[in-house]
Amino acid sequence: MALVRYNNMVSPSMRSLWNDELLAPFFGRVEPRWSPRVDILEVEGVLQLEVELPGVDKEDVKITFESGVLTVAGERKSAEAKEGTRHFARERLGGEFSRAFRLGTAYDGKKIDATYLNGVLSISIPKRKETLPVTVKIH
């Protein structure tokens, strides 16, 4: 199984180039987006993804598996600025997010299990039985 990160966001180096004072008048500025961090591991034939989603309600998250691609998408709502409030720093980005992972056909999309606890989305996807390793006994 070849797990390939599937993400269409603009890279940080391209973002800095686009926001350069020389190019911004021609192409516009790229607004920063946030992308949740993900840990991916496989334990005994089960692929596990741990997605950090601080400040996101589980009702605002959607998980889909189609044509071998697992997608986690949703929205983190930004806090509205109140009248008379002055921000000294605003680093917590909000807005829509989407992360997609090409898993291929080795994993069973019909048996996906997901739990959400303390801002961490845990997704488990078992391998299809026909893709599990087989041990052959020699006679």
Helices (H), strands (E): how many in the chain?
Answer: 2, 8
Q: Could you give the CA distance from residue 34 to residue 69 in angstroms, rounded to a whole number?
A: 21
pLDDT digits (tens, 9 = 90+) for 56-91: 999 999 999 999 999 999 999 877 778 888 878 877
Which long-range contacts link 3-6 to residues 24+ away (Cβ below 8 Å)?
3/40, 3/101, 3/102, 3/103, 4/101, 4/102, 5/101, 6/69, 6/100, 6/101, 6/102
Query: Given a cut of 80, is residue 116 above it in pLDDT?
Result: yes
Q: Comparing C-alpha atoms, which of 42, 39, 38 is closest to residue 107? A: 42
Q: Is the pTM of this model over 0.75?
A: no
Q: Comparing C-alpha atoms, which of 97, 99, 128 is closest to residue 112? A: 128
Poorest-pLDDT segment among 28-37, 62-71, 130-139 = 28-37
